Amino acid sequence: MAIPALAVPALAAGFADPVHDAQRSFAAVMRAMSEPGLPVPLASDLDPPAPLSREAAACALALLDYETPVFLDAALSAAPAVAAFLRFHTGAPVVDDPAAARFAFIADAAALPDFGAFAQGEPDYPDRSATLIVQVSDFGTGAIVLEGPGIKGRRSFSAAPLPSDLPARLAANRALYPLGIDLILTAPGGVLGLPRTVKPVMED
Amino acid sequence: MNAPVTASSMPAITYNFAYLDEQTKRMIRRAILKAIAIPGYQVPFASREMPMPYGWGTGGVQVTAAILGADDVLKVIDQGSDDTTNAVAIRTFFETTAGVATTTRTQDATIIQTRHRIPEAELKAGQTIVFQVPIPEPLRYLEPRETETRRLHALADYGLMQVKLYEDIARHGHIATTYAYPVKVEGRYVMDPSPIPKFDNPKMNDSPALQLFGAGREKRIYAIPPHTQVVSLDFEDHPFKVQAFKEPCALCGATGVYLDEVILDDKGGRMFVCSDTDHCSTRQAEGHTGTMSAPYQEAAHD
Ligand SMILES: [Zn+2]
C-alpha cells in the first residue's frame, strides 16, 4: 500500500510492557555492573532505528529521561531517526557537548572517544560522571583480564570491535578513582559492565 | 500485560507495580548503578514520600521497589525476625503493590530487605540484600555539616573516626561500639554498615551477594558489589573482634550465631536464642535441639 506523502515517518515502538521491560533491562545492567566483565543476558524486542542496537535501546529506555542529557557519537548522530527515537521515548535532551552528557551512546566502538571528553565526576560528588553505552558485535573470554570489586579473583573477557588500547584506557580511568567514567558494553543478547573500579591486569 | 496491580483489600486503589512511579524508579536505578561503581560512597537521591513513617525503612523500601521484578522472591527481616510488625508491614506492602512471591527462607529469596541484621545462612551469588539505613553518614556524629563530611570523604580524611574509636579505648579499655561499627570499603570509603551488630560486619566482606543501602530521610543510596573488600576499622594493638556468646542457642543449639536475650519470667529467668528466626526454625526442623527445646514432635507442630 502506498504511503501517503504527508505521513509522519513511523517512529519505532518503545517497550511493549514499559514497567516490566524497563525493570528487566535495568536488572541486567545492575547485574553487569555488579559483576564486571561478565556477559549478562538482556533480551530486547525493540526495533530501534539503525545503527542503534536493540540492547543499547533497551538500556536507553530503562535509564534515560528528561533529567539525563545524552550524547550520541558520530555514527548515531548521522542517523536523525536515532535522536528522534530517544527524544520521543525518553524525553532526554540530546547534547552536542560530551562533557554535558550523563549518558553517551557509542555505535562505532572501534572509534571509542577519549574518556577525558566526558564528565568524570567531582571530588565531593564522584557520581556526577558519565556512563558510556558502547555497542560491540560480540562478547567472548580471554583477551582482557580484570580484577576489582565484583570479581572473585580475576575475570577475563573479550569484545569486538574495541580499540586495542582499551586496557590502558581502563587503567588510566581507574587511576582517577573515585572519579572516572563507567562503561556498559552491549552486544546482541547481552550487556557487560566495566565500572570505573575495574583494574586491567597488564601481562607485561 | 502492564495492568496496575489492584489490591483486593483496597478495591478502590490501583498502584503502579511496586508503588513507585516509573520516573522515580529510573532516578533510583541510576543512583544504584553509580553506587555500585563507587563502593561505599553515598549517592544522593530524591527520596519520595512513602505510605509509611521514615523510621520504617522508607529508604530500603524505595531501593527494593526500584529493583524488584515480577519474578523476584522477597524476604523481609527486622532484627533477624520475619514476623515483627515492621517486617510484616513491608512484606505485605510488596505483596499488595507488586504481587511478588515472598518467603521467610533466606536461601529461597532473590531479594532480602533487612533492618539491623544479616542472615546467618551464607548469601549466594545472584541474591541482593537491601539494608534500611537511618543515618548513612558515619562521620555525622563527629561533624554535623554535610559540606564538611563530603570534603572529608573526598580527601579520604578519616582521622576523626580513628580518634573517636581511640577515645573508646581510652575510656573503656576496648572499642565499645557494638552497632553500626564503621567499615572501610575497598580501601577507600569509610561507610556506616547501618545499625547491624558488629557481629555481622565480617559477613559484608567478600560476600557473593550484592549489598544495597537506602536511607530515606537522609536521601542516600550506597552499595557494596559482590566480592568487595570490607574491613572493620581497628588498631594494631586493639584489633576488631566480634561478639562471642558463652552458650549456644537455647532452642536449636546453634553456636557462632548472633543471639538475643529473652526474659522468661520476673524472677531473672532468661534464655539466649537465635536472632535469625529462619535460621533457628530451620535448624529445629532438622532436629537440632537446645537446652530449652520442647520435644521435637511438638516443635514440628509449631
Ligand atoms: Zn537457634
B-chain residue closest to A179, CA distance: B38
pLDDT score, position A123: 97
In a domain, A152, yes or no: yes
User: Do the chains contact at A127 and B225, CB–CB below 8 Å?
Assistant: no
**CATH number of the domain that residue B169 is part of:** 3.40.50.11310
Nearest Cα of chain A lies from the Cα of B266 at a distance, in angstroms, of 50
Any CB–CB contact under 8 A between B16 and chain A? yes
Q: A71: which residues sit within 8 A by CB, 6+ positions away? A: A94, A95, A96, A97, A98, A100, A101, A103, A104, A105, A118, A130
What pLDDT does B64 receive?
98
Q: Domain of residue B24: give its range.
A: 3-232
Contact (CB, 8 A) for B138 and B191: yes
**pLDDT tens, per residue, chain B with 302 residues:** 444 454 444 455 677 999 999 999 999 999 999 999 999 999 999 988 888 877 788 999 999 999 999 999 999 999 999 999 999 999 999 999 999 999 999 999 999 999 999 999 999 999 999 999 999 999 998 999 999 999 999 999 999 998 988 888 889 888 888 999 999 999 999 999 999 999 999 999 999 999 999 999 999 999 999 999 999 999 988 999 998 999 999 999 999 999 999 998 888 889 999 999 999 999 999 999 999 987 644 444 44
- Complex ipTM > 0.90: yes
Counting the structural domains of chain B, the total is 2
The answer to whether B205 and B186 have CB atoms below 8 angstroms apart is: no
According to the model, what pLDDT value does residue B280 have? Answer: 97
**Same domain, yes or no, for B205 and B253?**
no
| pLDDT, position B14 | 73
For chain A, how many structural domains are there in total? 1
pLDDT score of B300: 43
Catalytic-role residue among B40, B214, B216, B290: B40
Cα distances (angstroms) measured from residue A76 to each of A95, A132, A162, B107, B131: 13, 14, 17, 45, 40
Please report whether residue A6 resides in a domain.
no
- Tell me what the pLDDT averaged over chain A comes to: 94
pTM of the model: 0.94
C-alpha cell at B273: 536464642
Q: How far apart are CA B39 and CA A198, in angstroms?
A: 12
Please indicate, yes or no, whether residues B106 and B135 belong to a single structural domain of this protein.
Answer: yes
> Which parts of chain A register pLDDT below 70?
1-9, 203-204
Domain contains A178: yes
- B212 plus B259 within the same structural domain: no
Cell of B61: 523500601
Does some domain include residue A9? no
pLDDT at B49: 87
C-alpha cell at B222: 550506597
C-alpha cell at A116: 577525558
Both B226 and B283 in one domain: the answer is no
B226 vs A34, A62, A177: nearest CB: A34
> How far B157 CA lies from chain A's nearest CA (Å)?
13
Range of the domain at A189: 18-200
Identify the CATH number of the domain in which residue A36 sits.
3.40.50.11310
Question: Which of B232, B252, B269 is the endpoint of a domain?
Answer: B232
Determine whether the interchain pair A18/B2 forms a contact, defined as Cβ–Cβ distance below 8 Å: yes
- Chain A residues with beta carbon closer than 8 angstroms to that of B17: 19-20, 23
The answer to whether residues B113 and B37 belong to one domain is yes
Residue B300 located in a structural domain: no
Question: Same structural domain for residues B70 and B163?
Answer: yes
Strands A182-187, A131-135: pairing kind: parallel
* Residues B132-166 as b or e (16 or more Cβ within 10 Å = b): bbbebbbbeebeeeeeebbebbbeeebebbeebbe
Residue A172 maps to a domain: yes
- The residue written with cell numbers 550484592 in the block is B210
Closest in A16, A149, A182 to B227, CB measured? A149
Residues B217 and B264 in one domain: no
